[in-house]
Amino acid sequence: MSKIKVMDELLANKIAAGEVVERISSVVKELVENSIDAGSKNIRVELLDAGKKSIKVIDDGIGMDEEDAKSCFLRHATSKISRDDDLFFINTLGFRGEALPSIVAVSEVVLETFNGVSGTKVHIKGGEFLEVGVAPSREGTSICVTNLFYNTPARLKYLKSEPTELSNVSSYIEKLALSYPKISFVLTNNGSIIVRTNGAGNLLKTIYEVYGAEVSSNMIEIQGSNDDYDVSGYISKPIIQRKTRNFINTIINGRIIRNLELNKIINDAYYTYKPDNTFPVVVIVIETDPTLIDVNIHPTKQDIKFSKLDELREVVTDSIKKALYSTMLVPEAVSSKYEENNVEYSIESELPKTLFIKEDTIKSFGSIDTVVDSKTLDKNSVQNTFDLGNTKNEEFKKLELYPVGIAFGTYIMAENTEGVYLIDQHAAVERINYEKVLKGLLVKDTVMMLLPVTMELSSSEYSTLQEKLDMLVAMGFDLEEFGINTLKINGHPSWIKEGREYDTIRAVFDCIIEFGNLDPVKFNDKVAATIACKKSLKGNTRITLEMASNILDDLVLCDNPYNCPHGRPTIVKFTIYELEKMFKRSM
């Protein structure tokens, strides 16, 4: 007797439900996407007990006749595609014909729909039709799902708590609202409104309705295109950061997707504008030829494959960096909220109590261990060593900051006609040094040393460097073996500061040992950031106002003057208005 048998339709649908219907948000996703495909302008989602008791989706779409209302619950029944070639031109959110049969296989569903001519009601439970009748003549379709997972107790058991399930539903409705700003979405739970957007078609207004005023007021518009992709949307200023990637919203041809590679591209474009362990808030809309993407790689249709990922990387990266370069990113310290460890707090509005203004009371700068030492801080020396000037950050260059004091030996206090600015001297010099070293790494010049340096290494370090000698030579090092586990350095890259050779070379060697397998761009970043941090002006170090002025002059010329290489801010602003409010001059 044959052991292989064809399973019945209901069992097949239950198995499919395990992939398509994972949780309550999965049901909401499939139902709402059907409403969008039906041309709806207003979509309402009503939950009872976060959807555990009832999920109802009401739309004003085109509706269905009686035949379609019954057929839509059959497996692989769809109006979206009909032949093989259609898979290469998918322009709808749904196309598999698996969602509704998977849902009704594990729940009880009542569908009421009106197509402008007749209304149809379908009642189905566990995949079996209980009633097909006449429905009221209300424009569009309503579908109510109850008793979810009633016949699959294992799946029912592993539903999360009501707050968790509601959070998942809310998150997806928010993303859909951002994807379709021309559609009005309303989400309620037990009669209380959770999400509401007006469908006016203004993406920035939708961002405000979803994320609030603090986020929407700190968004930057982006635009970009090439032969394959058109990119638009909004990205947050570095002051707005989150601890998860959930706020990176990527929309491809109207479809919200979760693609790790694309998320990484977006996050990498913020490199040095923020810490590595935080993420921006972005809503990026990408339009492309459907033949360049494949959405048919997962049952949930939330991942995607790109035919021309390098071209997408280029246009997304360029669009984000162009927007960041052209925007004033100095945060206002008073009444601005920041996030740290998911806890919001406001910077206190007290002015520093200790100001070091008189130069004759300030300690000598002479022996500070920094790439930008007392000589380098001569007004033109950094510019003479490497030309940091560029056409970026024009608004920052117009600030014309004048240092008036040093607070706590750590913060340069400057002013202009708009307010008072505090500059973290370590972060600022670290940024200057970082860009200086980064540009120097591209020069590849070698300076021969009058007195060569020898460096003894451990066996493991020596072995690793032996494998990476070509990298050292490419960077501009002239070296040779000199005894057991020892290298003799006869020459070094021209960007290494005279008098700092040994420590800097040691730092380069450490970077090669730890990061030598990275691609050249990321490796150069690691080298520049490591050396800049170790050799920059430290906090709690007294400097003169002239030195402070030179630091500001050099900071202005940086590609990114707003953040140190690790993403910490270099500068914050106290507006005149806020200062006057603090001192009750302005009420």
- For residue 211, the enclosing domain spans 203-325
Instruction: Please give the radius of gyration of the chain, using alpha carbons only, rounded to the nearest integer.
Output: 31
* Partner residues linked to 187 by β-bridges: 45, 195
- State whether 520 and 408 are in the same domain: no
Q: Which residues of the chain have pLDDT under 50?
A: 14-18, 80-90, 94-96, 335-391
Counted domains in the chain: 4
- Output the domain CATH number for residue 298: 3.30.230.10
- Output the domain CATH number for residue 452: 3.30.1370.100
If you ran DSSP here, which 8-state letter would residue 97 be given?
S
Distance of CA 501 to the CA centre of its chain: 38
- Output the domain CATH number for residue 67: 3.30.565.10
If you ran DSSP here, which 8-state letter would residue 335 be given?
T
CB 114 within 8 A of CB 138: yes
Alpha helices in 441-544 (DSSP H): 459-467, 469-475, 501-515, 520-534
- State whether 404 and 542 are in the same domain: yes
Distance CA 101, CA 84 (A): 22
Torsion of CA 174, 176, 177, 179, to 10 degrees: 130
Final residue in a domain of this structure, among 276, 301, 325:
325
Strands annotated E in 74-153: 108-114, 119-125, 128-134, 140-146
- State whether 505 and 459 are in the same domain: yes
Structural domain includes residue 4:
no
Structural domain includes residue 514:
yes
Closest to 100 measured CA to CA, from 158, 38, 162: 38
Tell me the per-residue pLDDT of 434-473, one tens digit each, with 9 for 90 and over: 998 888 888 888 989 888 989 888 888 888 888 888 888 9
- State whether 284 and 374 are in the same domain: no
Structural domain includes residue 267:
yes
Alpha helices in 148-197 (DSSP H): 153-157, 162-179
- State whether 370 and 474 are in the same domain: no
Strands annotated E in 270-361: 282-288, 293-294, 305-306, 337-340, 343-346, 355-356
Distance of CA 342 to the CA centre of its chain: 16
How distant, in Å, are the alpha carbons of 186, 361, 459 from that of 173?
9, 61, 57
- State whether 82 and 184 are in the same domain: yes
Please report the pLDDT score of residue 2 as a whole number: 56
Question: Model pTM?
Answer: 0.74
Please report the pLDDT score of residue 334 as a whole number: 58
